[in-house]
Amino acid sequence: MKNLKVLLTMLLIVAGSLAKANNNDDDYKLTKAYASNIYIEAVTLGKLEGFESILDKDAKFCILMGNNKRVATYSKAEMLEYMQANLKGLKQLCTTSSAVVEENGQMSVLKVEMKYGDFTRTNYVTFADTGKGWKITNVCSVYK
């Protein structure tokens, strides 16, 4: 009987620890750090798992195109479709760095530079605290 009580106590402790670890993981998925890491892995390594979850439902993407300064804009759905078809699993041959440009309790702008051999792609990624975690609301890409 004593062994049974000890065994049940141990099972409750293990179950409680697992539940807490799961909650911590869920909490982490609501942070700017999580959203930033998922974004960078998606655009540089083609790892799309979790990417859709960090995008706000109204997220917009823009790309400043070349010397004629034409701006191409895309919706969340268009960008997800493009990435699934063309970038999934594709590792970019570039050196990537990132830095926070502006930040407060409600929004953050992250600058992500992807340096290739003869040009650099700079993504300005805007995150907002949506009440359901930090989500990407806007990404603007510029090529130099």
Tens of pLDDT, residue by residue over 94-117, are: 998 989 999 898 999 999 999 999
Instruction: Identify the bridge partners of residue 112 per DSSP, sorted by sequence position.
Output: 98, 123
* pTM, 2 dp: 0.77
Classify 124 as helix, strand or coil: strand
| Architecture of the CATH domain 31-143 | Roll (3.10)
What number of residues does the chain have? 144
Which residues 6+ apart lie within 8 Å of 63 measured at CB? 71, 72, 74, 140, 141, 142, 143
Of all helices (H) and strands (E), which one includes residue 123?
A: strand 120-129
Tens of pLDDT, residue by residue over 17-48, are: 554 445 456 766 678 888 888 889 999 998 99
